[in-house]
């Protein structure tokens, strides 16, 4: 029995497929694709930082219109207006309404209530939160630094936009939906593990975590 076990242990193992790359070329393709997707999503947030830059966030002197104030107001206006679905598929053109759709009415109204009662009255301060979340998503996803946390920030912003503006006139709702889906993919993949600064941080955080550091254990989950 022991002899058979030793023979089996010497047999070459077959490469595992799926998420386990079976060759250096496949691993390189995976890393490059994840890096492009992560940096691309981060760059998207970078391009959106400047029209609503602090301290006025593009708003007028009284923080009542313009820039971020305008779009926050639009979200509050659209909260109780149709459509109350997302991810729609209009398969039969002659039939009114989509055949496939995800109902988001309650989430849309809750998002609108939050915008109207929390964000709008405190836009001087909440503007920093919104701008900071996008700035962090940009830096995190492009540098591969705490990339899972950055993807979570990107997901929060994307979901907020999808609910608030996805059904607005002259807005292509799939632009926000694709942002949300890509953010989910980046959260699951944790792109910094493939490129960037997380590759340097994780061994050190893991060592500190094994020594009992709770903060390191938390930070490890964000990389």
In whole angstroms, give the CA distance from residue 59 to residue 130: 14
Nearest in space to 39 (alpha carbons), one of 176, 175, 143: 143
- Write the pLDDT tens digit of every residue in 47-101: 999 999 999 999 998 898 999 999 999 999 999 999 999 999 988 877 777 889 9
Are the CB atoms for 134 and 157 separated by under 8 Å? Answer: yes
- When the pLDDT of each residue in the chain is averaged and rounded to a whole number, the result is 90
Provide the token pair at 197.
């600064």
Domain assignment present for residue 166? The answer is yes
Give the Cα-Cα-Cα angle 214, 193, 159 (nearest 5 degrees): 85
Domain assignment present for residue 44? The answer is yes
User: Per-residue pLDDT for 102 more than 90?
Assistant: yes
| Paired strand residues for 100 | 89
Domain assignment present for residue 169? The answer is yes
Domain assignment present for residue 219? The answer is no
Residue that wins the pLDDT comparison between 66 and 23? 66
- Write the pLDDT tens digit of every residue in 123-171: 999 999 999 999 999 999 999 999 999 999 999 999 999 999 998 888 8
Domain assignment present for residue 220? The answer is no
Q: Collapsing DSSP states into helix, strand and coil, what is residue 104?
A: coil
Percentage of the chain beyond pLDDT 70 is 90
Nearest in space to 174 (alpha carbons), one of 68, 88, 100, 72: 88
User: Per-residue pLDDT for 16 more than 60?
Assistant: no
Range of the domain at 88: 26-196
Domain assignment present for residue 205? The answer is no
Residue-level length of the chain: 223
Q: Please state at what angle helix 214-221 crosses helix 198-210, rounded to 10 degrees.
A: 150
Domain assignment present for residue 107? The answer is yes
Domain assignment present for residue 188? The answer is yes
- Number of domains, the chain: 1
């Amino acid at each position: 029995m022991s002899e058979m076990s030793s023979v089996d242990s010497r047999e070459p193992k077959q490469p595992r497929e799926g998420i386990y790359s079976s060759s250096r070329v496949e691993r390189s393709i995976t890393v490059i694709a994840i890096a492009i997707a992560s940096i691309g999503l981060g760059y998207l947030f970078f391009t959106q930082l400047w029209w609503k830059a602090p301290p006025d966030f593009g708003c007028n002197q009284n923080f009542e219109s313009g820039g971020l104030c305008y779009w926050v107001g639009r979200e509050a206006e659209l909260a109780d207006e149709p459509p109350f679905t997302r991810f729609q598929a209009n398969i039969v053109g002659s039939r009114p309404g989509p055949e496939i759709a995800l109902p988001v009415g309650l989430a849309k109204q809750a998002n609108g209530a939050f915008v109207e009662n929390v964000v709008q009255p405190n836009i001087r301060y909440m503007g920093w939160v919104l701008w900071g979340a996008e700035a962090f998503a940009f830096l995190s996803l492009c540098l591969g630094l705490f990339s899972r946390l950055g993807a979570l920030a990107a997901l929060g912003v994307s979901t907020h936009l999808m609910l608030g503006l996805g059904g607005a006139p002259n807005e292509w709702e799939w632009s926000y939906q694709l942002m949300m889906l890509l953010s989910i993919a980046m959260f699951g993949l944790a792109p910094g593990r493939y490129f960037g600064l997380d590759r340097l941080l994780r061994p050190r955080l893991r060592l500190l975590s094994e020594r009992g550091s709770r903060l390191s254990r938390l930070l490890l989950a964000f990389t």
